[in-house]
């Protein structure tokens, strides 16, 4: 198994993808809107990924946050609210906001489970800051670490109840960025003391099964390298200060915050301490280069992967409230801030 999560070109596996994935045995896969056209097609695709890997629990990821980040969209699937609404509800009724976040996350996970998707890139634990770039913006659960942690835990619990693993992101915090790492390399010039605010939700949820790094330079910790490529940030801040010991993946290797060949990018994040590299575009030449550059996944990373996927073993989506019930509960609570 190689320490990489790959995207796909289209709605079905091509023969050359099958050959590459058989040879490289990636740790998992991630799906995007380009891979999705209908319920039957999506389920057939996820079934084919499980069959190809030979692992029933192979991680199949998606970004289904709600709001402006949703790969499964209407009219086939329902729309889900942006995170900002739960933050607004928290101002009025904190316990209701936590319960609404849990119900919404369970609804998302029930939908994903039916499609054969078992990992969601949610929740964001980024602490929203005024005047920062809106790449985070209304995707954030708020600007106060305690409420972010409370609702973030509810999101993790709601998804786990339906058999879906959550990923906390963007560790160690993207909320202060004045640039979009998809397009540029952000530099956050906050002091180590100021950055304690950003760390707080991640510290509170340090036992989450998976986390995704931020492609951001924090000069207070490492002025030369972004977090995804920094052994200092990963070892000293993420692993020690935060105390995170779950599966750590990089953010997408295709973002313009990173430079160098795709093989160099993949080697760089793994060498820095990421358990797996994330490559989203489905570009076949890039995937070939990454597969050639990477060796086998480390024993520790493999253990973390197995532990993360085992965290939802035994979850029975049919044992709890169904989709209609949890969405009705969520909508009734969010009506308080409509």
Which residues are tagged catalytic?
A: 182, 251
Cα(200)–Cα(291) distance, integer angstroms: 36
- 109, 126, 337, 135: which is closest to 256 by C-alpha? 135
Query: How far out from the chain centre does Cα 43 lie?
Result: 21
Query: How far out from the chain centre does Cα 163 lie?
Result: 16
Cα(109)–Cα(293) distance, integer angstroms: 34
Strand partners, 66: 69
In this structure, are residues 264 and 241 in contact, taking their beta carbons and an 8 Å threshold? no
List alpha helices for 169-261, DSSP H: 192-204, 231-232
List alpha helices for the chain, DSSP H: 15-24, 39-53, 83-92, 94-115, 145-160, 192-204, 231-232, 262-272, 284-293, 299-310, 323-334
The SS3 assignment for 3 reads strand
Q: How many CA atoms lie within 13 A of 63 on its CB side?
A: 20
Q: For residue 53, count other CB atoms closer than 10 A to its CB.
A: 20
Backbone angles phi, psi at 75, to 5 degrees: -90, -5
Phi and psi based region of residue 208 (left: phi greater than 0; alpha: psi -120 to 50; beta: remaining)? beta
């Amino acid at each position: 198994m190689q320490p990489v999560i790959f995207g796909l070109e289209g709605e079905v596996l091509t023969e050359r993808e099958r050959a590459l994935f058989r040879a490289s045995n990636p740790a998992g896969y991630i799906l995007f809107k380009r891979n999705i056209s209908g319920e039957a097609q999506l389920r057939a695709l996820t079934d084919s990924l499980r069959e190809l890997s030979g692992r029933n629990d192979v991680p199949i990821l998606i970004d289904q946050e709600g709001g402006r980040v949703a790969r499964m969209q209407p009219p086939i699937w329902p729309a889900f609210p942006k995170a900002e609404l739960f933050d607004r509800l928290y101002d009025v009724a904190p316990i209701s906001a936590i319960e609404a976040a849990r119900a919404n996350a369970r609804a998302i996970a029930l939908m994903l489970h039916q499609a054969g998707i078992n990992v969601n890139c949610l929740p964001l634990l980024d602490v929203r800051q005024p005047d920062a770039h809106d790449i985070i913006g209304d995707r954030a659960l708020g600007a106060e670490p305690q409420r972010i942690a409370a609702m973030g835990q509810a999101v993790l619990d709601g998804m786990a109840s339906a058999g879906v693993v959550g990923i906390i992101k963007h560790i160690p915090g993207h909320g202060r960025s004045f640039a979009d790492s998809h397009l540029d390399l952000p530099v956050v010039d906050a002091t180590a003391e100021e950055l304690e605010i950003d760390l707080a939700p991640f510290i509170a949820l340090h036992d989450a099964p998976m986390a995704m790094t931020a492609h951001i330079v924090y000069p207070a910790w490492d002025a030369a390298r972004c977090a995804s490529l920094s052994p200092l940030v990963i070892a000293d801040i993420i692993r020690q200060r935060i105390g995170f010991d779950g599966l750590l993946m990089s953010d997408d290797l295709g973002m313009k915050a990173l430079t160098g060949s795709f093989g160099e990018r993949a080697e760089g994040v793994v060498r820095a301490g990421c358990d797996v590299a994330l490559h989203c575009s489905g570009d076949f030449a890039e995937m070939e280069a990454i597969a050639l550059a990477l060796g086998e996944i480390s024993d520790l990373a493999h253990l973390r992967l197995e532990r993360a996927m085992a965290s939802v073993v035994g979850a029975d989506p049919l044992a709890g409230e169904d989709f209609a019930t949890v969405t009705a509960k969520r909508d009734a609570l969010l009506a308080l801030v409509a």
